[in-house]
Amino acid sequence: MSFDVSVIPHKNIILAVTGGIAAYKSAILVRRLKDAGFNVRVVMTQGAQAFITPLTFQALSGNPVHTALLDPEAEAGMGHIELARWADLLLVAPASCDTLAKFAAGLADDLLSTLYLATKAPVWVAPAMNQQMWAAKPTQRNLATLIEDGVHVIMPDAGSQACGDVGLGRMPEPEDLARQVTEYFHQAQRAIAEKFGQLAGKRVTITAGPTREAIDPVRYISNHSTGKMGFALAAACYAAGADVTLIAGPVTLDTPNGVKRKNVSSAVKMLNESMQMLEDGCDIFIATAAVADYRVAEVAEHKIKKSGDELNVALVKNPDIVATIAQQEKRPFMVGFAAETRNIEEYAAGKLVAKKLDMIACNDVSRDDIGFASDENAMTVFFAEQYQMDKRDLEKASKQEIAQQLIEAIHDALHRDPSSDDDF
């Protein structure tokens, strides 16, 4: 069974704002949640409106703000039920002492308390109040009840408070709350991917970026690869349920969420790490790295001084990483990349056969609108003869979209592999 995790829609979050000076942080929180890709609708209690206006939240969220229990503009006048069904998470931040008490007692005398009872979505509360109110026994009893009922309580921070006291009771910073929410959904999505993803249970190794072949301590031979395509593939493979290791040359990209990363510089070091991954266990090897074909025969110990119009440097051939891996007895499914400037498909088809690959993706790096430095790409994919699959043309799209299409191609090829015992 295959399930494409990438098609899960952005999650819907109801941010409920209750009365308290920390309500100003909620405005920033809306922006941070939106930046992370969430759909946000805001619910405000009467107390919250004394600190900040609904118009502020409407402008930040792009949605009308909900303040009344009975909404004449809602379907059947029951806006609270529609909201309860819409939400994937109800986040109350700040959560006042009064709100915690209502939730614990099961009251339903306003929009928020009714939403709490009506929604099937997880409920998170971020309490914010005076330190003595937080420490009070009734508040702690209410918190214990909520935790027993399955509510996730985000503990307050300690520090100076608006009233002048110092202690526990400050609402965490918006960036921290948004990070916790994002991680929660990432973990939930990952759990689905590990069970139903296109590459669920597969161990994937990806090489990405350029290599640097030293000439002396300050100079090297390299190329224009940025690693963007390989990093996009690593993120997509992880989202599809794979256990992903990324062997990266010198690039300035952040490691995708959930991906293990090994940094290397030279082609020889990249090969050594690749062989180690093969020994550790690898089901799919994707070679997107632009590996230097040659390295300097003897690297100078000290910086070479300028002395004349010419400098002759002897070069020796680097190992062919993807071909070396493909020749191993227990080889993984091999995916190669071909970055060419002419006769693109002809060269790629030749490499597919010569290097004994299962699949190869080629692109024209002479184009200004795609390739190394661009955020977009366009590729043609060829498959080894035993898969009996026609070539695929991947039209110009973002590298993230191209990565997803490449995963689909890998999945389809694995599905057609007569030697595979996998149940798709």
Active site residues: 163
Could you tell me if 287 and 265 are in contact, meaning their C-beta atoms sit under 8 angstroms apart? no
**Is 355 one of the annotated binding-site residues?**
yes
Specify the residue for token string 């006042």.
Answer: 96
320 in a labelled binding site: yes
Instruction: Establish whether 102 is an annotated binding residue.
Output: no
CA distances from 192 to 94, 146, 183, 196, 407 (A): 31, 27, 14, 6, 17
Q: Which of 115, 142, 109, 107 is nearest to 17 (CA)?
A: 115
Half-sphere exposure of 208 (CA within 13 A, CB side): 30
Q: Are 297 and 215 in contact (CB under 8 A)?
A: no
Residue 57 annotated as lining a ligand binding site: no
Measured CA distances, 66 to 49, 75, 201, 267, 332 (Å): 11, 14, 43, 58, 54
322 is in an annotated binding site: yes
269 labeled part of a ligand binding site: no
CA 379 to CA 289: how far, in whole Å? Answer: 16
Is 147 part of any known ligand binding site?
no
- 402 assigned ligand-binding residue: no
CA nearest 222: which of 306, 312, 300, 293? 293
Distance between CA atoms of 276 and 262, rounded to whole angstroms?
11
- Beta strands 220-221 and 152-153, pairing class: unpaired
Question: Binding site membership for CTP: which residues?
Answer: 293, 303, 319-322, 337, 351, 355
